[in-house]
Amino acid sequence: MAGFKSTERYIASRDLEVAVNAAVTLQRPLLVKGEPGTGKTVLAHEVAQSLGMPLIEWHIKSTTKAQQGLYEYDAVSRLRDGQLGDERVRDISNYIVRGKLWDAFEAEKQVLVLIDEIDKADIEFPNDLLLELDRMQFFVYETRKTIAARHRPIVIITSNNEKELPDAFLRRCFFHYIRFPDRETMEKIVQTHYPDIRKDLAREALNVFFQIREVPGLKKKPATSELLDWLKLLMVEDLPPDALRSNEKHVVIPPLHGALLKNEQDVHLFERLAFLARRGN
Amino acid sequence: MFSHLVLGLRSAGLPASITEYLTLMGAMKAGVAEYSVDDFYYLARATLVKDERHLDKFDRVFATCFKGLEPTDVLKVQDLPEEWLRKLAEKFLTPEEVAAIETLGGFEALMERLKQLLAEQDSRHQGGSKWIGTAGTSPFGAYGANPEGVRIGQDKSRNRTAVKVWDKREFKDLDDTVELGTRGMKLALRRLRRFARQGAATELDLPDTILATAKNAGSLDLKMVPERHNTVKVLLLLDIGGSMDDHVKLTEELFSAARSEFKHLEHYYFHNCPYERVWKNNRRRHEEVIPTWQVLRTYGPDYKLVIVGDGAMSPYEINMAGGSVEHWNEEAGSVWLERLTGHYRRSAWLNPTPKQSWGHVRSINMLNDLMEGRMFPLTVNGIDDMTKELSR
């Protein structure tokens, strides 16, 4: 069967491949969770690319309503047209604005829908989409029409775990938790992103990176995306690998740490540790 | 075919359902896993586990089902964090024993040794003086004779489970790290708020009217809502002390979050069963008591009475005069409870313990009878039923 595999740009572990393939085969949504920056959103892009499907992205905000993904009825412009005596006003379907899911259902070929950060929305949001995602159809109340998917789209949903999702919703999904990559995988990831990076620089950078992740009490541990940004900076600045190697055993503030440590408490914590380590020597 | 896996998961407390099982079978049929055991493991995991907190439990159950290992008691076994052990030690050890521990090199050394032994040991052990097990003289294990003994697990838990617990499992850290029940509590709050608006739709709802009129292309469409009465008055009686403390905190927070929806919200504490006195300040529970008669006189029958308590006590505390564990009560708890439920037109008992276990506790049955069946579990559904009952 045609399945999803790691690509030149995206390293997927075997369990992720199985989960994606199961979701594609059975045409059920795949729910992806994991630390921020471990490539949840990128996954959808890569799956769409490797399966050769158009990608429809639906980014969820705290104000997003489930209905907006289906359709919206633009009452205000109808009211205005009604007052101006426009002929369009007689047909209510002129004022139905399609949502992302409608687009996906009506598409000529099978598409991939990404519902990004579903946990940002209201607590009832997943419940409101249960039937729509299960049957892949919905009813337009204003025009009394049922919109059913021509080809069941593949749905990938990401969550950052800010809210718990209802059981009924979870039951209909496949689930994958992206674990933080181990050193070996991380080397592969770096290799795929920057094939021409100097070996010694990458090694030193990874040492520093995993050291930082080990530091207890960090508010936001740097993740894959931060590492990749940082490496890019290091390459642009053309720093020698020696600049990363510390004479002290434990901690040192790495150059260009702004890419790795994203808030000042973490930087402070780090500076303090570095100071203590130096004094200890 | 793999029903024992699903059943095993369910008995370990994972909410795997038939739908998910059928999905798994469907995926197997479609050849997603083909003939690889690893792929089957990944597939089963993606299908049956929906929360990273459960991944660890899943690994354990999967191992039991497909490797023929001894079953582990997944529900009872917990990881033993050092702090917990330390606390346990402080609680159970006398000063002499603590001193005896010092002879072995202090608590840190003891813990270090424990970790070492766990690493070395790979089979169940009983007796002897070095290995961790039961009835031995080694410092670790249950029912030991060594004063430095650290008891691993309670009840019938054996050391073999402890070894499994300490086994390195990849998703261990994810187990139960997220605050539990936030979603449930938010929903409960919504239900509780709904309690305030009742009656017929008599008030003009301006925003909704504007919206409906606009939708109607300019012709007027009136929308009404029930008047917000805000007449609900709630009297909370909370069982406090011991096992109830966490629940009490939760309930108080829940009700005070919904406070703006009530006209009055009063709370008093009692212990186990309401008697002739209650109190407002738990720290001064013996000095500042308020006679229950006074509560009955102050708050009229239009208050809704909500009693929160686990109801687990000796039956004497309910039906005998002088049965209270704290003081001499002239009249039995049942008399007071009847007095309370008789005075207030609407009353209910919220019980934070799971409903399934109520049948096994005699005192809960007695209380439920006294409440005429108006005892509800402290869950979203329970609160829903309670508000329905109270606003009838």
What does the pLDDT look like over A219-271, one tens digit per residue? 778 888 888 888 888 888 877 777 776 555 555 667 777 778 877 777 887 77
What's the whole-number average pLDDT of chain A? 84
What does the pLDDT look like over B214-233, one tens digit per residue? 888 777 777 877 665 556 78
Parallel, antiparallel, or unpaired for β A137-140 and A145-148?
A: antiparallel
What does the pLDDT look like over B75-122, one tens digit per residue? 333 444 555 555 555 555 555 555 555 555 555 565 565 555 555 544
Q: Which residues pair with B305 in a beta bridge?
A: B235, B347
What does the pLDDT look like over B277-287, one tens digit per residue? 888 876 666 77
Among chain A residues, the shortest Cα distance to B51 is held by A175
Q: What is the pTM of this model?
A: 0.56
Asked if B218 lies within 8 A of A22 by C-beta distance, the reply is no
Q: In chain B, what residues touch A176 (CB-CB under 8 Å)?
A: 46
Q: Is it the case that residue B1 has pLDDT exceeding 80?
A: no
Identify the DSSP state of B173.
Answer: G
Token representation of residue A244? 């990363």
Tell me how far apart the alpha carbons of residues B11 and A30 are, in angstroms, rounded to a whole number.
Answer: 26
Q: In chain A, what residues touch B187 (CB-CB under 8 Å)?
A: 123
What's the whole-number average pLDDT of chain B? 69
What does the pLDDT look like over A92-122, one tens digit per residue? 888 999 999 999 999 999 999 999 999 888 7
Q: Is it the case that residue B203 has pLDDT exceeding 60?
A: yes
Parallel, antiparallel, or unpaired for β B224-226 and A145-148?
A: unpaired
> Does any CB of chain A come closer than 8 Å to the CB of residue B187?
yes
Q: Is it the case that residue A191 has pLDDT exceeding 80?
A: yes
Instruction: Give mean pLDDT, residues B16-39.
Output: 83
Q: Is it the case that residue B45 has pLDDT exceeding 50?
A: yes
> Which region among B117-126, B200-209, B288-297, B382-391 has the lowest average model confidence (pLDDT)?
B117-126
What does the pLDDT look like over A25-59, one tens digit per residue? 888 899 999 888 788 888 999 899 888 899 999 99
Judge if ipTM > 0.90.
Answer: no
Tell me how far apart the alpha carbons of residues A133 and A168 are, in angstroms, rounded to a whole number.
Answer: 12
Closest CB from B30, B55, B170 relative to A26: B30
Tell me how far apart the alpha carbons of residues B127 and B146 are, in angstroms, rounded to a whole number.
Answer: 12
Asked if A18 lies within 8 A of B183 by C-beta distance, the reply is no
pLDDT of residue B127: 42
Long-range contacts of B185-188 (CB under 8 A, 24+ apart): B185/B250, B185/B254, B186/A123, B187/A123, B187/B380, B188/B254, B188/B379, B188/B380, B188/B383, B188/B384
What does the pLDDT look like over B143-193, one tens digit per residue? 333 434 444 433 333 333 332 223 334 454 444 333 335 555 566 666 666
Q: In chain A, what residues touch B174 (CB-CB under 8 Å)?
A: 177
Tell me how far apart the alpha carbons of residues A223 and B167 are, in angstroms, rounded to a whole number.
Answer: 27
What does the pLDDT look like over A112-171, one tens digit per residue? 999 999 988 877 788 888 888 888 899 998 889 999 999 999 999 999 877 778 888 888
- Give exposure, A106-129, as e/b (b: 16+ Cβ within 10 Å): ebeebbbbbbbbbbbbebebbebb
Tell me how far apart the alpha carbons of residues A168 and B182 are, in angstroms, rounded to a whole number.
Answer: 17
Tell me how far apart the alpha carbons of residues A19 and A38 are, in angstroms, rounded to a whole number.
Answer: 16
Closest CB from B47, B55, B171 relative to A22: B47
HSE (CB half, 13 Å, CA atoms) of B307?
27
Token representation of residue B364? 């809960």
Q: In chain B, what residues touch A163 (CB-CB under 8 Å)?
A: 182-183
